[in-house]
Structure 1
């Protein structure tokens, strides 16, 4: 919360210096892409918070949030991104072709300048935002709860429900899809001993969805989230999530990337 407040305070100070307009609640209005950028930056600020929580509150190295090796295994993260890209892109392409039951608005091109500005913002901030959510839900929260129980499901299921709730209450289908995403990310974290597979999936999902939104006039400024997903797209997304899980676990098994405790041999990356 303190990190979010610092981001908001910085935005207010910058807005005052640049003489940005004020809304009915007295806050500076940035509008469009800038508002979305501030929201992403606020979420990205969660990462140092959970690192400090692990270091100071739990008295353990902050790197243990990343993986059982005490660090983020970058080569493994890169492989997860490479394996997930065709799956996420393919499923997203199929979803864009499906009819939207509630879709009545016409889609308009945002314009080259707005598109490039929005795309640059998405590429710069989304990886940090997505990683921050993984560190908060699949890193700190899952580990904090899981440390007290033998079964990992006692930690995986609650964090998935909280993850879905954090995205707001949209459609029942959208909420269910977010729960499945949280469960998949939790299982991958436990079974691979780190956040790399979950981060890769989250980053790809958000980059593609928000990158396309940057091309549509007003889409980045929309308040809709993944919780508003229509029922027509949920089945496609769940099939992709299951496929990604199977692929990652198979490759992780072949490469010896396992969930190993302290003192076990280091995994190959």
Structure 2
């Protein structure tokens, strides 16, 4: 299926010229290293090196530091990719984020809220009907002080927002549009993005691969159908935030995922819910903004790529 999407309208023949692709491949690793080192120096200076120390305290404290470090690292890498792409392909960074005139914050918040509602229902059903357990909310940990709980919530909000934005900008922004420079077939675009996103996490347990591939496919579908990354960023943040607030603190020593058949069923149900949500969102002009007309949201076309 070949379609035209507003999010791909800035992708031109220039984006598949080999000299530019070679320049991107050569400059990107160097930019990532430089910016990552710069972020490490800045964060280390601002915190007197405490943020990089191995904290041996409460799980919430260790998780807060870990999520902030994760956000800073992914943010630095994404910024490096975007800056290099900006100069190599000579177009504004915003073109990899949205096809709308401005970033649609309301769409991002809608994506976060609607995803959180659906995911909370699935998590509750999973706990009660399948695993017969009760959630032990990390933020209700009786051994943690009120100040630590507030600090934990703030840290995961900031860290996960930066991390999700970084991943969406790289995978659903740069990678998706770079793939579109060579094909406009919708299923190839989504399939490539899903596989790359899953493999990039370097966790090869089948359940983890399926979960991330489904997430990558849904977020790619959202970017194409809604004309930007806003919804996907919100949904991505909400997904990780629900885990951090309702299941367990994120820690570097967490074991690899090893889910069973019921976990894969949950992932499929969540993906189905997200696709339905995206299609419903397309019918909301206030959220879609300037690209809300049917003619600009990726209807099938007989034209070539």
TM-score normalized by structure 2? 0.69
How big is each residue's C-alpha offset from its partner over 1:187-217, in whole Å with a ceiling of 9 and x where there is no partner?
111111111221121011011111235xx5x
TM superposition shift of 1:8: 3.2
How big is each residue's C-alpha offset from its partner over 1:115-135, in whole Å with a ceiling of 9 and x where there is no partner?
433222101221121111001
Contact 1:126 1:203 in 2 (8 A): yes
Structure 1 position 126 matched with structure 2 position 160: yes
Q: Give me the whole-angstrom Cα distance separating, in 2, the residues matched to 1:224 and 1:258.
A: 45
Q: 1:157 to 1:253 in 2, by over 3 A?
A: same
Contact 1:163 1:179 in 2 (8 A): yes
Superposed counterparts of 1:56-205, under 5 Å: 56-97=87-128, 98-99=130-131, 109=141, 111-113=143-145, 114-205=148-239
Of stretches 132-141 and 147-156 in structure 1, the one that deviates more from structure 2 is 147-156
Partner residue in 1 for 2:272: 242
How big is each residue's C-alpha offset from its partner over 1:29-85, in whole Å with a ceiling of 9 and x where there is no partner?
345232332122211223422331332111111111111125321222233233222
Partner residue in 2 for 1:29: 54
Q: Give me the whole-angstrom Cα distance separating, in 1, the residues matched to 2:182 and 2:102.
A: 23
TM superposition shift of 1:14: 6.1
How big is each residue's C-alpha offset from its partner over 1:153-197, in whole Å with a ceiling of 9 and x where there is no partner?
333222211211222325211211110111111111111111122
Contact 1:7 1:38 in 2 (8 A): no
Q: Which has the higher contact order (CA 8 A, sep 6+)?
A: 2
Structure 1 position 230 matched with structure 2 position 259: yes
Superposed counterparts of 1:33-48, under 5 Å: 33-48=64-79
TM-score normalized by structure 1? 0.77
Let me know the Cα RMSD of the aligned residues: 3.0
Q: Give me the whole-angstrom Cα distance separating, in 2, the residues matched to 1:85 and 1:120.
A: 17
* Structure 1: segments with no counterpart, 5+ residues: 22-26, 101-106, 262-269
Q: Give me the whole-angstrom Cα distance separating, in 2, the residues matched to 1:83 and 1:220.
A: 23
Partner residue in 2 for 1:265: none
Q: 1:60 to 1:69 in 2, by over 3 A?
A: same
* Structure 2: segments with no counterpart, 5+ residues: 1-31, 57-61, 133-137, 286-291, 298-305
Q: 1:238 to 1:115 in 2, by over 3 A?
A: farther
Q: Give me the whole-angstrom Cα distance separating, in 2, the residues matched to 1:4 and 1:204.
A: 26
How many pairs align? 243
Of stretches 64-73 and 138-147 in structure 1, the one that deviates more from structure 2 is 64-73
